Amino acid sequence: MERIIKFLIFFIIFNACCLSSFAFDEINLNSLLSTQYVKYENCTKVFNTGNVNLLYLTIAAVNANRFKIDEIQSESGYVLFTAVNKQFLASVSNVNTNQGMLKITPADGNYFFQPGIVSNIFKYVDINLSKTPEVINLK
């Protein structure tokens, strides 16, 4: 009987801790998914990789987030994509030889959108920054 009571107390404390952390995650998730005004500074980030690799990572990030790619210009270094019925322009530029800058801005200039669109792409690029593109021969 004593073991059952200890187990129940442990179970209740464990569930209380899990639910409180779940509620905290849900608050952060809601702030990323709700439509709000996003600062221009939050739409720009510098990465420690060249602009060519950054362009490939940006295309992969847009694809991984299941956004619709409308246009890719590899020479100019931009990707036009649609997310949540709104077009965005992801442009890649060279800061110096070892750094590239990714800027994701709404195509219509209206910065009232879900900030998770931009932050998810930045997170994907951060996570996969060490990976380099490979040439695959399909013969």
Range 100-125 average pLDDT = 96
pLDDT in tens, 20-29: 444 444 445 5
Which of 97, 99, 100, 76 has the alpha carbon at shortest distance from 89?
76
Domain boundary assignment for the chain: 1-33, 36-127
- Is the pLDDT assigned to residue 31 strictly greater than 80? no
Cα angle for residues 21, 119, 27 (degrees, 5° grid): 25
Class of the CATH domain delimited by 36-127:
alpha beta
Question: Please, what is the average pLDDT of the chain?
Answer: 83
SS3 36: strand
Which of 65, 55, 101, 107 has the alpha carbon at shortest distance from 86?
107
Answer whether 88's CB lies under 8 Å from 109's CB.
no
Alpha-carbon span 64 to 75, nearest angstrom: 22
Tell me the pTM: 0.74
* Structure confidence at residue 6 (pLDDT): 53
Which of 6, 38, 44 has the alpha carbon at shortest distance from 109?
38
* Structure confidence at residue 121 (pLDDT): 97
Q: What percent of the chain has pLDDT over 70?
A: 76
* Structure confidence at residue 106 (pLDDT): 97
Contacts of 33 (CB under 8 A, 6+ apart): 114, 116
